[in-house]
Chains A and B, each alone.
Chain A
Amino acid sequence: EPEVTQTPSHQVTQMGQEVILRCVPISNHLYFYWYRQILGQKVEFLVSFYNNEISEKSEIFDDQFSVERPDGSNFTLKIRSTKLEDSAMYFCASDQIGGNEQFFGPGTRLTVL
């Protein structure tokens, strides 16, 4: 069964450093998403991406965040200058157009020291 994959599973970084989280969505899906879950809290929507551009973003997705689909398979989330409060689990999801069913990856746990 096709699945969304994410790398790395755990990323540790120093405050102020840039990180790139990687996702490989399901191959025939066209909509891509990033969510985050701070420890013990609910899952929060960050951004959606379609046709090589951002479709929607939440207020969390400020200028320090960016997304990119650098090739036909990867979908990345970049955090330019990490802060302590960026420590969270980051989930990638993808959706087939018209499907209304987002498939989630296993997540990347980001720890900012």
Chain B
Amino acid sequence: AQSVTQPDIHITVSEGASLELRCNYSYGATPYLFWYVQSPGQGLQLLLKYFSGDTLVQGIKGFEAEFKRSQSSFNLRKPSVHWSDAAEYFCAVVPTGSGGGADGLTFGKGTHLIIQP
């Protein structure tokens, strides 16, 4: 069965510093990959996604992620974090070729990002 691992439960970063959140997946074939952000009391907002092609994908709010097939990883990065980036970040996967279909997303356990002033 597919699984998603986010090894860091909490990460603390100073405002203005760079950020990298790790995500590894275990799946038979490369799935479609997503990063979602959840602010306190809010729903899930899609930051970015990877289906195929260029392995470096750009998302909203200045985030980017790099897909590395050899490492089964899809790490999220931001060059300079802002206090408003404090939130829970979830990596998620869905089987390739779902075609907008019925497969549910499999989520990691999330990484709680704390921003220090």
A residues in contact (CB < 8 Å) with B: 4, 30-31, 33, 35, 41-48, 50, 55-56, 58, 91, 93, 95-107
Categorize the interface residue count of chain B: 20 to 34
Interface string of B79-117 (1 = CB under 8 A from A): 000000000001010100011111111111110000000
Q: Is B46 an interface residue (CB 8 A)?
A: yes
B residues in contact (CB < 8 Å) with A: 32, 36, 42-46, 49, 51, 90, 92, 94, 98-110
A52 to B90, CA, bound (A): 30
A57 to B69, CA, bound (A): 29
Within the complex, which residue of A42, A56, A100 is in contact with B100, where a contact is CB–CB below 8 Å? A100
Query: In the bound complex, do residue B43 and residue A42 qualify as a contact, i.e. CB atoms below 8 Å apart?
Result: no
Nearest-neighbor residue (CB-CB) of B43 within chain A: A106
A46 to B92, CA, bound (A): 15
Nearest-neighbor residue (CB-CB) of A104 within chain B: B44
Query: In the bound complex, do residue B44 and residue A43 qualify as a contact, i.e. CB atoms below 8 Å apart?
Result: yes
Query: In the bound complex, do residue B105 and residue A102 qualify as a contact, i.e. CB atoms below 8 Å apart?
Result: yes
Q: A41-B109, A42-B110 are in contact. Are A100 and B104 (CB under 8 A)?
A: no
Query: In the bound complex, do residue A31 and residue B100 qualify as a contact, i.e. CB atoms below 8 Å apart?
Result: yes
Query: In the bound complex, do residue B104 and residue A48 qualify as a contact, i.e. CB atoms below 8 Å apart?
Result: yes
A33 to B84, CA, bound (A): 29
Q: A43-B107, A100-B100 are in contact. Are A91 and B43 (CB under 8 A)?
A: yes
Chain A residues, Cβ within 8 Å of B45 = 104
Chain A residues, Cβ within 8 Å of B103 = 48, 56
Within the complex, which residue of A30, A35, A98, A103 is in contact with B46, where a contact is CB–CB below 8 Å? A103
- 15 extra interchain contacts, Cβ-Cβ under 8 A, other than A100-B94, A100-B99, A101-B46? A4-B43, A31-B101, A42-B107, A42-B109, A43-B44, A43-B107, A45-B105, A47-B104, A50-B101, A56-B103, A98-B99, A100-B32, A100-B51, A101-B49, A104-B44
